Amino acid sequence: MKIHNISTENSILNSFIAEMRDVNIQKDSMRFRRNIERIGEILGYEMSKTLSYSTSEITTPLGACNMNLIDNNIVLCSILRAGVPLHNGLLNYFDKAENAFISAYRHHKHNPESFEIIVEYLACPSLEGKTLILADPMLATGQSMIATYEALKPFGTAKEVHLVSLIGAPEGVELVNKHFDANAHLWIATIDKKLDKNSYIVPGLGDAGDLAFGQKLQQ
Ligand SMILES: O=P(O)(O)OC[C@H]1O[C@H](OP(=O)(O)OP(=O)(O)O)[C@H](O)[C@@H]1O
Ligand SMILES: O=c1cc[nH]c(=O)[nH]1
Ligand SMILES: [Mg+2]
């Protein structure tokens, strides 16, 4: 897997991540969602540099010019809930993408330290020969990303796979790196230090789904 950690280079991206982490600023849920969306736009732009292009002639009011335009048939799949604003950010740039949605959540059976990933809702077009983007802001253990990818397999074989995430833990990055093949890409805004005993990313930002949409009751 090719890992692109975008924050290794200084840019405006750092301001958006800082606002999402900040205990005071992150309480503004509209700003929190908008920051996820803005980072989705930046990661989408970075990713676009690796897609396939062909030349088209464009007619302007004053003449014609050749432009290299994206050829890929993109399917954008995000993981509910926290994936929704990231989905919007990516879709702001990939106008023609088809869309898939999947629900994956941590189900705590016995205690906060153990959980299984439950996949329930899934709506997906054919993936055959297409470019699959899997979007989820948090890559903690990596289990949601892998459960999602496995659940999508009956929909066809994508020609390329791009994972898009905001904050990762080394454990999650390592797991997806092992699971996906060498041609897959991970576009990630930043990789943090570690997971805590509840598999939350440290320093991370807390619970992305709750910050974006309000606290949910544990099921
Ligand atoms: O890498 P993992 O260990 O699988 O953890 C990451 C998952 O945790 C969060 O979802 P959560 O289960 O909190 O659901 P939510 O988006 O509905 O809040 C996040 O959006 C990822 O889907
Ligand atoms: O740190 C984490 C881990 C999983 N899900 C989150 O929202 N945050
Ligand atoms: Mg959550």
The answer to whether the pTM exceeds 0.80 is: yes
Which residues have a Cβ under 8 Å from the Cβ of 182 and sit 6 or more positions away? 1, 2
Of 53, 73, 55, 76, which Cα lies nearest the Cα of 65?
A: 55
Q: Provide residues with CB under 6 Å of ligand 1.
A: 79, 81-82, 104-106, 117, 136-144, 172, 199, 207-209
Counting beta carbons within 10 angstroms of the beta carbon of residue 100, is it exposed (0 to 12), middle (13 to 18) or buried (19 or more)? buried
Instruction: Name the token pair of 56.
Output: 């088209």
Q: Which parts of the chain have pLDDT scores under 50? A: none
Name every residue whose Cβ is closer than 8 Å to that of residue 15 and which is 6 or more positions away in sequence: none
At residue 128, the pLDDT reads: 98
- Closest atom of ligand 2 relative to the 210 alpha carbon: 7
Query: Quick check: bond before 154 cis, omega within 30?
Result: no
Cα 201 to ligand 2 centre (Å) = 6
Query: 2-52+72-213 has which fold?
Result: Rossmann fold (3.40.50)
Q: What b/e string do you get for 61-84 counting C-beta neighbours within 10 Å, with b at 16 or more?
A: eeeeeeeeeeebbbbbbbbbbbbb
Nearest-Å Rg of the Cα atoms of the chain is: 18
Q: What is the interface pTM, i.e. ipTM, of the complex?
A: 0.97
Contacts of 63 (CB under 8 A, 6+ apart): none
Q: What is the pLDDT of residue 219?
A: 64
- The protein residue whose alpha carbon is closest to atom 10 in ligand 1 is 105
Contacts of 171 (CB under 8 A, 6+ apart): 140, 141, 142, 194, 195
